[in-house]
Structure 1
Amino acid sequence: MVPSLNNQTMLLSLKLTVIVIGLWFGAAIAELQRFQHPAKADGSLSVLVVGDWGRKGTHNQSEVAVQMGKTADKLNPDFIISTGDNFYEDGLTGTDDPAFAESFTNIYTAPSLQKQWYSVLGNHDYRGDALAQLSPILSQRDSRWFCLRSYVLDAEIVEFFFVDTTPFEDKYFSDPEDSTYDWRGVLPREEYLSNVLKDVDKALRESSANWKIVVGHHTIKSAGQHGNTVELVAKLLPILQANNVDLYINGHDHCLQHISSSDSPLQFLTSGGGSKAWRGDVSWWNPTEMKFYYDGQGYMTLEITQTEVGFTFYDIFGNVLHKWSTHLRSRTIDSAIRREFSLC
């Protein structure tokens, strides 16, 4: 029997309360917290993914939400993923900030979107009270809400590894006098990043899931305004490649994007079109790797079975812009070929 949303939320809130208490008092968490979300009865899984959205309905956020609801009516998603920058411009001021309802509860009102939302923090979220978004108080205000820094979501046939990417960016720490960012629970930075990398690597190595998907806010590879995040390319990407990760999904760049890796089966997906988009802001990219780029608003879906994973990008009108899929067998063969060539 699949637990109800309220029962799931109660369990998540109990676990989250313990975690947040540790964060408030600066306690280090030894390894990534793990949570479970059941797949459908037939073993399949459907997910909506949206990022960079929280603008109180402006910049077409409300219009994107309407189309998400229509797509969800057909897809019947098991849950929704937010890739960060949940509240612009400067996160939340606290757990009682009305922006939480104005940008989330009052916007994603379609019955088909009343599912669990699993979120990560973006750089704009860190510019406010970052701990507010991690608080179980928000889950009490809206039972759909769930947000942590880094964690693992076990959805039976697939495991999602959510990674807190903002502290990796050097530029956010370049001015020691800059108190804009809420680094509580992050400092000392080098120790925090070392633990994140170690814990992600351990969780990926121990995973026996058919599919491994990593979610972070910042890009690893992107032709958008922010481009590649060099710190993630240097520190996180080798871990993803070594552990046969299938997809890396991010926001940050306000576009929709699919880049194939030239040296592994890893696919890089950007879903950052939840509200304000950057029209015309795209850099040249090798066309053999750039499978799709759209500089407008929209969202994406994932459809996963035991043997296949696929994704679809949609625009603000609900039009399908790009689709891609791979089978477990082809992925395994591709990985084996690449390993063989690397040994030559």
Structure 2
Amino acid sequence: MGILGEEQNIDFVINVGDNFYDDGLTGVDDPAFYESFVNIYTAPSLQKPWYSVLGNHDYRGDVEAQLSPILREKDSRWVCLRSFILNAGIVEFFFVDTTPFQDHYFEDPEDNTYDWSGVLPREEYLSNLLKDVDSALAQSKATWKIVVGHHTIKTAGHHGNTVELVEQLLPILEKNNVDAYINGHDHCLEHIVDSESGIHYLTSGGGSKAWRGDIKPWNPEELKLYYDGQGFMSVQITKNKADVVFYDVFGKVLHTSSIPKDLNPAA
């Protein structure tokens, strides 16, 4: 990542959740912040902002710790919020807190290892979040609109499609002509292009555990890449196209895709 980051002169890094395994952080002084972030991504090219969302494993710890400005004082790169917008000129990234959408995290209160402070009452939280995402996407004047979340929407990977997101979030993405959805959760690298909506689903979950050895059937015309292993991806965006590249841990190119942007769509 460091070598490629230098070659491409990257502006920032997007971190798609499950930032600290297995159970998030215990607090702002948890040494895992250094062991899994500060002391790992030391390359000069990676000393840029890291925009992060929360994953389900992060919710198993002290969520407020990851959101705390104290961590940013420890390392100025760290930017983690539940849901937020990153305006990067011709592209806007809409970060969405996807963990509270999943019903099964709430179904066994006796075994509730999740920190839902700031989320409850859940129905109100999700309703407001969906309204905010819809409104922000509708008002955006950006050439490119990309949504980032931890959980999958469409995937041939281990966890399968997240039904709650398909039912509640996906219609908003389709209505507002989102170009791509970037996620983690499945520990693989994957590129799916929806044949109807044209949305690109980019899974970059190869930062930790991988090699699960399972892949679900998927339309081969839509599935452009499925790599059951570790790695990462880069995105370079201009007004006319977005170039997406997936790499393995050694920086070997696994898959490239150039997504064109029609600047004069038919009415």
TM-score past 0.5 threshold:
yes
2:239 paired residue number = 306
| Structure 2 counterpart of 1:81 | 14
Match of 1:118 in 2: 51
Query: Quick one: percent identity of the two aligned structures?
Result: 70
Equivalent in 231, 234, 238 of residue 171 of structure 2 = 238
- The structure with the largest alpha-carbon Rg is 1
The residue type equivalent to 1:272 in the other structure is G
Superposed displacement of residue 226, structure 1: 0.2
For residues 81-128 of structure 1, the C-alpha deviation after alignment (integer angstroms, 9 at most, x for no partner) is: 000000000000000000000000000000111000000000000000
Runs of 5+ in structure 2 lacking a partner?
A: none
Task: Tell me if 1:271 matches 2:204.
Answer: yes
Q: Hey, what does 2:225 align to over in structure 1?
A: 292
More relative contact order in 1 or in 2 (CA 8 Å, sep 6+)? 1
Greater helix fraction, Structure 1 or Structure 2: 1
Aligned-pair CA distance for 1:163? 0.1
SS in 1 for 2:172: helix
Partner of 1:197: 130
Q: C-alpha deviations, 1:156-203, integer Å up to 9, x for none?
A: 100000000000000000012233100000000000000010000000
User: Does residue 1:223 correspond to 2:145, yes or no?
Assistant: no
Please report the RMSD computed on the Cα atoms of aligned residues, expressed in angstroms. Answer: 1.1
Equivalent residues, number: 267
Check 1:282–1:301 CA distance in 2 against 1; reply closer, same or farther (3 A cut): same
What secondary structure, in the 3-state scheme, does the structure 2 residue paired with 1:227 have? coil
- For residues 28 and 245 of structure 2, the distance between their equivalents in structure 1, rounded to whole angstroms, comes to 34
CA apart distance, 1:331: 8.7
The question of whether the paired residues in 2 share the 8 Å contact of 1:154 and 1:160 is answered with yes
Match of 1:105 among 23, 27, 38: 38
Preserved CA contact (<8 Å) 2:158 2:212: no
Contact conserved, 2:106 with 2:112, CA < 8 A, in 1? no
Change (3 A) 1:283 1:180: same
Residue identity opposite 2:26 in structure 1: T
The one of 86, 89, 111 equivalent to 1:156 is: 89
| TM-aligned CA deviation for residue 263 of structure 1 | 1.3
Cα deviation 1:228-278 (Å, max 9, x = unaligned): 000000000000000000000000000000011121121101000012113
For the residues of structure 1 that align with 2:58 and 2:211, how far apart are their CA atoms? 20
> Under a length normalisation based on structure 2, what TM-score does the superposition of the two structures give?
0.98
Match of residue 44 from structure 1: none
1:185 to 118, 131, 143: 118
TM-score (normalised: structure 1): 0.76
